[in-house]
Chains A and B, each alone.
Chain A
Amino acid sequence: MGKVVLAGIGATPIGEHWEKSLRDLMVEAALKALEDAGVEKNVVEAIFVGNMSSGYLQGQEHIGSLLATWLGIPGVAACKVEAACASGGAAFHNAFTAVKSGVYDCALALGVEKMTDAPTEYVTSALIMADDQEYTAFAGFSFVALNALVYKAYMEKYGARQEDIALFAVHDHEHAVHNPLAQYRRAVTLDAVLSSPLVADPIHLLECAPTGDGAAAALICSEEKARELGLTPEVEVAASTLATDVLSLHDRDDLTTLQATVRAAKKAYRMAGIGPEDVDIVELHDAFTILGVIHLEDLGFAKKGEGWKLVKEGEIEPGGKIPANLMGGLKARGHPVGATGLYEIYDVATQLLGRAGKNQVEGAEIGLAQNVGGVGGTVAVTILRRMR
């Protein structure tokens, strides 16, 4: 089987897009990806749309066909892919397997979420659907509450301090300043983070990814097809994997490791023929500060219980051991849930293509994106590699 290459990427800014609908966001991201690739829309043979909550928040399902219709390419294969906050990564995985297998030569993976039309408590209701409705949501848990328990378990097990873990939010904001697509392009201090209101103890508001609207897309092709179209592909998809863990925390023996990350990463490193030490940049799914720390460990960049040290010692900055979330991460770039997996891929590609401006890591060749659904019920890992 030949290589799968990234032909183009596109994304809308993340924010409160009151003037744009779900379909407007999808069409905008799709057109940008096609324009970036320099191809016509009729090269797209299949569309996979990652989205979590269009049914609940917009009363709209069947958005694969909706996008094909509004993009003016009815007839293509198209469907929605859902895996909570990992919907985008899962959509990309579907597109990858579709092209890798040879069934399609060219597929569009797109993620979209429109969250700001609804009042906060309804968004909170939508997000807890990522966990078990009959037992976890029934008991009144919010999604933040579940992560609060993970936070407590981590601090108890490893003796880590909140002021060290919360630095992840400060890091994200610092880099979002230079990302034109980011939702919050301003720096925050650790004091501001730790004095913001509690959402679910011990998690403060500024430790949580915000709600926002956005869509991001990646056009992928077989290398052969790309060359046939006259393209000169610069980035290949070296690996795309998906793994699960038991859905809910109450079924897990250890709350401080996301087994789905460990599993998806192991498969991805094997598929790409690399190890964690070969990764130049990483985009982590830090929906909450504690998750950023845990992901550094579960992806193999730090020993268990020591992820926070990488943050504190500057090792996730450009020039550090493993530069992470250099476009602002979920906290400051933003987290339109079903789109996030594609934004991460967009951000990794932006680095590999040398388009990251002030956030550019010189010579970045291999980048990894990790996208988490729920409290780790699903994890998608993508590895992109610059082609020589």
Chain B
Amino acid sequence: MSYMNSVPRAWRERVTKYRLIGGRCKSCGKVFYPYRSFCPRCGSSDVEKIELPKRGKIKYFTVVRSAPAEFKKYEPYIVALVELENGAVVPAQITDAEPEELREGMPVEGVLRRYREQGEDGIIEYGIKFRPVVGEE
């Protein structure tokens, strides 16, 4: 394991990760993920907490063929920056698709899936992955 086996950490992040809680800066308009008190673009504290849309498009994707230890058993798998309908960008895995079926700009939708496991005896961490939206090509 490369990170702490921690139940409190997974619990603390559950709402942000399951519902995609982000922020909108009222000063410069940037919409971002995850939520934090200060805008990553302009530094303003005038940030509104919002639930992000679960639909968007693949901005850029790649295939991880040499994975970190805790993801080794899943390689190869697809990771991407997904641009949601309101402009927020989320780092996430793409699921239910092979790399050859994907292209940048393709519409995707979020689904709750397993991400990583805290070892044999630890908890399983879940989060939103994205899959191609069928019939919208």
Binding site for B on A (CB under 8 A): 56, 119-122, 124-126, 128-129, 133-142, 144-145, 148-149, 152-153, 156, 197-203, 246, 248-251, 253, 255
Taken residue by residue from 1 to 33, chain B's Cβ proximity to chain A (1 for < 8 Å, 0 otherwise) reads as 011000001000100010000000000000011
B13, B89, B115: which contacts A140 (Cβ < 8 A)?
A: B115
Knowing A140-B77, A149-B81, the reply to whether A249 touches B91 (Cβ < 8 A) is: yes
A-B contact count, CB below 8 Å? Answer: 108
Residues in chain B near residue A149, CB distance under 8 A: 60-62, 81
Number of interface residues of B (CB under 8 A): 38
Are the C-beta atoms of B67 and A142 separated by less than 8 Å? yes
Q: What is the distance, in angstroms, from B43's C-beta to the closest C-beta of chain A?
A: 10
Residues in chain A near residue B62, CB distance under 8 A: 145, 148-149, 152, 200-203
How many angstroms from the CA of A96 to the CA of B70 in the assembled complex?
39
Residues in chain A near residue B116, CB distance under 8 A: 138, 140
Greatest chain A CB density within 10 A among B13, B40, B93 is at: B40
Contact of B69 with A by CB under 8 A: yes
User: Smallest CB-CB separation from A156: which chain B residue?
Assistant: B104
How many angstroms from the CA of A148 to the CA of B32 in the assembled complex?
22
User: Smallest CB-CB separation from A197: which chain B residue?
Assistant: B65
Can you list 13 pairs linking A and B with CB atoms under 8 Å apart? Answer: A124-B66, A128-B68, A135-B34, A135-B91, A137-B68, A138-B125, A140-B115, A152-B60, A152-B62, A199-B66, A200-B63, A200-B65, A250-B32
Residues in chain B near residue A255, CB distance under 8 A: 60
Residues in chain B near residue A201, CB distance under 8 A: 62-63, 65, 99
Residues in chain A near residue B63, CB distance under 8 A: 198, 200-201
Greatest chain A CB density within 10 A among B17, B67, B93, B127 is at: B67
Residues in chain A near residue B65, CB distance under 8 A: 197-201
Q: What is the distance, in angstroms, from A57's C-beta to the closest C-beta of chain B?
A: 10
Are the C-beta atoms of B127 and A138 separated by less than 8 Å? yes
Q: What is the distance, in angstroms, from A192's C-beta to the closest C-beta of chain B?
A: 18
Residues in chain A near residue B81, CB distance under 8 A: 149, 249-250
How many angstroms from the CA of A249 to the CA of B90 in the assembled complex?
10
Contact of B64 with A by CB under 8 A: yes
Are the C-beta atoms of A140 and B79 separated by less than 8 Å? yes
Taken residue by residue from 36 to 62, chain B's Cβ proximity to chain A (1 for < 8 Å, 0 otherwise) reads as 000011000000000000000000111
Residues in chain B near residue A140, CB distance under 8 A: 64, 67-68, 71, 74, 77, 79, 93, 115-116
List B78-102 residues whose CB lies under 8 Å from chain A.
79, 81, 89-93, 99
